[in-house]
Structure 1
Amino acid sequence: MEEHANPAITIGPVTFDLTILAMSTLAVLVVFGFVFWTSRQMKLKPTGKQNVLEYVFDFIYGVARDNLGEHYAKQYMPFLFTMFGLVLVANNLGLITHLQNHEGGLLWTSPTANMAYCFALSLIVAVFCHFEGLKEKGLKGYLHNFLQPMKLMLPMNLLEEVTNVVSLALRLYGNIYAGEIVIGLLLKLAFVDWFWTPISFVLLLVWLAFSVFISSLQAYVFTLLSAMYIGKKVNGH
């Protein structure tokens, strides 16, 4: 699925993309570091860094509450908060720099600019939704959801489950991948001729600002849709 031969290691029948593994690990560490740093010495009246953490928490809690209700919002906040933080950081890593090896393989990129990575995230959400729906409603109630509003809708409901996974992954991948492609083109433009260098620099700054906005928006949309899918499985909303 990738256009570039990224550094990789093969173990048995499985090939691991080392760039994606490294960037994913970095994203996890950034999210963990942020939460760890902002949650030290918390006070009843928040100030400074604690305000930042509580603002992000309240923002995601609002998304969860609107789609899950008060009870389920508290129950699934850890999952949604973690997913939002991971996707937000992963989306923006590729905006920091652009590194390639001599073979054209990427050494630094946003993990979410990789289609397989986005599908993996989408599948995690799907499996989590089905597992929680089965746990909350039991087997009979879980299967009954596929027959709503009538039994004839079973094929369409099953198809919807597939399209949810595909659309969730492709929406995220398409936006982040396209953003990195444009950044690469603007960087190449800077070396075409001295005349284009300042123009490329200005366009790059504008595009980077726009990309940060789009990346943050996509993290919000991914979390919002995840909350909606969970809500549909556990409480029928």
Structure 2
Amino acid sequence: MNDPVSTFKLFGLTFNIGNMVSVTVAAIFVFLLVFICSRGLQLIPSGKQNFLEMIVDFTNGIVKTSVEGSEANAYGIYAFVLFLFIFISNQMGLFIQVAYNGVSYVKSPTSDPIVTLTLAAITLALAHFSGVSKLGFKKYFASTYLKPFKLWLPLNVFEELANFLTLGLRLYGNIFAGELLLGMLSSLAFKFGILSFIPSALVAMLWEGFSMFIGSVQAFVFVTLTFVYISQKVQPEE
């Protein structure tokens, strides 16, 4: 987190150029993947269409596990895009890193807490919006913040803040730690010549494979928790 960054200001706000570039690159990868796999769709899928439909079925399954009934259909596209974006963002820094003058311009976007907390804010904003849209503001506010007792209001507000922080920081912590250790292993590989290169390279390859697994799991966890939070807002307990 103490690495140098390149920023610029616009309308009084500070923007991180590295984050903007990394997020854009990840979004382009998502677009290209979906665009390529969705060309020449057939009634009986095969090859790349099978791969795309497998992801759609997987993310639809996550939604339907938490959100009941026909309401689940409204969130399918969000779950699909969110999962693909986080999955690709988590893996990106393991294979592509571009730096200039010590500043990383292309890395895993999710290795920065600003990006992961932004994703968490979008998720929780959607959950609140969905709850108000379905229940109306008065009923939604009562079911979310005034149960089981009105005195629970401060605790329920604190819970919302805790959900926001844990959702974003869990993803950030796992991806940042993985890339940090991989960078340390890469530096160690050339420190003592051949004596350190071979063992460091072997450990780095093992850790990279493990980091890919963790990145996949974290994408699944984030999307799953997203729809747990949404279900709590649109289907409050009586």
Q: For 1:20-46, what per-residue CA distance to the aligned partner results, in whole angstroms no more than 9, with x for missing partners?
A: 111101111111111121122212211
Alpha-carbon contact 2:22-2:105 (below 8 Å) kept: no
2:121 aligned with 1:123, yes or no? yes
- The equivalences for 1:60-209 within 5 A come to 60-102=59-101, 104-145=102-143, 146-194=145-193, 195-209=195-209
Q: For 1:100-156, what per-residue CA distance to the aligned partner results, in whole angstroms no more than 9, with x for missing partners?
A: 333x22232111111111111111111111111111111122112122233232222
Alpha-carbon contact 1:98-1:184 (below 8 Å) kept: no
TM-score by length of 1: 0.94
User: Which whole-Å CA distance do the structure 2 matches of 1:220 and 1:126 have between them?
Assistant: 17
Q: Aligned pair in 2 of structure 1 residues 152, 15: CA closer, same or farther (>3 Å)? A: closer
In structure 2, stretches of 5+ residues that fail to align are none
Other structure's SS at 1:133 match: helix
User: Which whole-Å CA distance do the structure 1 matches of 2:52 and 2:236 have between them?
Assistant: 31
2:71 aligned with 1:34, yes or no? no
Other structure's SS at 1:119 match: helix
TM-score by length of 2: 0.94
Q: Indicate the larger mover: 104-113 or 81-90.
A: 104-113
Residue 37 of structure 2 aligns with an amino acid whose one-letter code is T
Q: Indicate the larger mover: 148-157 or 122-131.
A: 148-157
Shift of 1:12: 4.2
Residue 9 of structure 1 aligns with an amino acid whose one-letter code is F
User: Which whole-Å CA distance do the structure 1 matches of 2:126 and 2:155 have between them?
Assistant: 21
Q: Indicate the larger mover: 61-70 or 12-21.
A: 12-21
User: Which whole-Å CA distance do the structure 2 matches of 1:29 and 1:99 have between them?
Assistant: 16
Residue in 2 that maps onto 1:219: 219
Q: For 1:151-186, what per-residue CA distance to the aligned partner results, in whole angstroms no more than 9, with x for missing partners?
A: 232222111111000000110010011011001100
Alpha-carbon contact 2:110-2:175 (below 8 Å) kept: yes
Identity fraction in percent: 35
Alpha-carbon contact 1:94-1:180 (below 8 Å) kept: yes
User: Which whole-Å CA distance do the structure 2 matches of 1:46 and 1:33 have between them?
Assistant: 19
User: Which whole-Å CA distance do the structure 1 matches of 2:26 and 2:71 have between them?
Assistant: 27
Residue 229 of structure 2 aligns with an amino acid whose one-letter code is Y
User: Which whole-Å CA distance do the structure 1 matches of 2:146 and 2:16 have between them?
Assistant: 41
Q: Please tell me the root mean square deviation across aligned C-alpha atoms, in Å.
A: 1.4
Residue 39 of structure 1 aligns with an amino acid whose one-letter code is S
- Number of paired residues? 235
User: Which whole-Å CA distance do the structure 1 matches of 2:43 and 2:231 have between them?
Assistant: 31
In structure 1, stretches of 5+ residues that fail to align are none
Other structure's SS at 2:9 match: strand
User: Which whole-Å CA distance do the structure 2 matches of 1:19 and 1:208 have between them?
Assistant: 22
User: Which whole-Å CA distance do the structure 2 matches of 1:218 and 1:188 have between them?
Assistant: 26
Residue in 2 that maps onto 1:10: 9
Q: Indicate the larger mover: 133-142 or 104-113.
A: 104-113
User: Which whole-Å CA distance do the structure 2 matches of 1:225 and 1:91 have between them?
Assistant: 17
